[in-house]
Amino acid sequence: MPVRKIGLCYRSVGGQVPMGGGRRGVDVESTLERDFVLLSRFDRAVTGIEEQPVRIPWAPDRSYVPDFLVTYGDGRPNDLVEVKYSTDKALLAGTLEERFAAARAYAADQGWRFRVVTEREIRTPRLANIRFLLPFRDRPVNRGLMVRLHALLQAQGALGVAVLADLAEGGPERRAHVLPTLWRAVAWGELAADLEQPLTMLSILDLPTERAGA
């Protein structure tokens, strides 16, 4: 449970990010925190993200509450995370270093990592792609179409989005029928795409690595 309740503040934009899959939403205090949570939600290795997770003493009568604890199911150590803009005056002035040092020590004692994450790591083409793909996760799947998509990639190798969609249904006039299932497959990792580059109709899709040799 959070050790600090997020309240209303005229300087910030708060809210809650739904996590899907029956998991509780995550409260955030800014649009940058919201975007960080979206990235974490899309990471299939993330098993949980908790806001305001621990209170860490760093000086007499002083304590610090990092923004998030991110837990993983792939062997990575948990991340204790502070989300800050790179232009934050306190960050640039170095006045947060004592509390960050306490957080690093606390995290190390738990077998975790402490990280400060800025918009430089968050607001990337990957975030824009995730915003586009997340709504497709809830779309119904056309299993027959998925079989055809996989068969085409197995036979021909990697293909562009438009080419793959047209081959799957016999031409451009049926492309709109294919795209929801195709993008759903990308959103769930059933088709592989380079999410570090903007997704377009020319983006190259392939079978995921574990399926490529199947």
**b/e string for 60-75 if b means 16 or more Cβ within 10 A?**
eeeebbbbbbbbeeee
Supply the pLDDT for residue 5.
59
**Ramachandran class of 173: left when φ > 0, alpha when ψ lies in -120 to 50, beta otherwise:** alpha
Determine the pLDDT at residue 11.
46
pLDDT at 150 over 50: yes
> 40-90, pLDDT tens digit by residue?
999 989 999 999 999 999 999 999 999 999 999 999 999 999 999 999 999
Per-residue pLDDT at 170: 86
Residue 77 DSSP label: P
- What value, to the nearest 5°, has the Cα angle with vertex 72 and ends 34 and 181? 65
Model confidence over 10-48: pLDDT tens digits? 445 668 888 777 777 899 999 999 999 999 999 989 999
Asked if pLDDT for residue 164 goes beyond 80, the answer is yes
**One-letter amino acid of 74:** D
Residue 118 to residue 186: CA distance in whole angstroms? 26
Which neighbouring-strand residues pair with 48? 71
Q: Residue 57: beta bridge partners?
A: 63
Give the percent of the chain with pLDDT over 70. Answer: 91
As a whole number, mean pLDDT of residues 118-132 equals 96
pLDDT for residue 161:
97
pLDDT for the residue 44: 86
pTM over 0.95: no
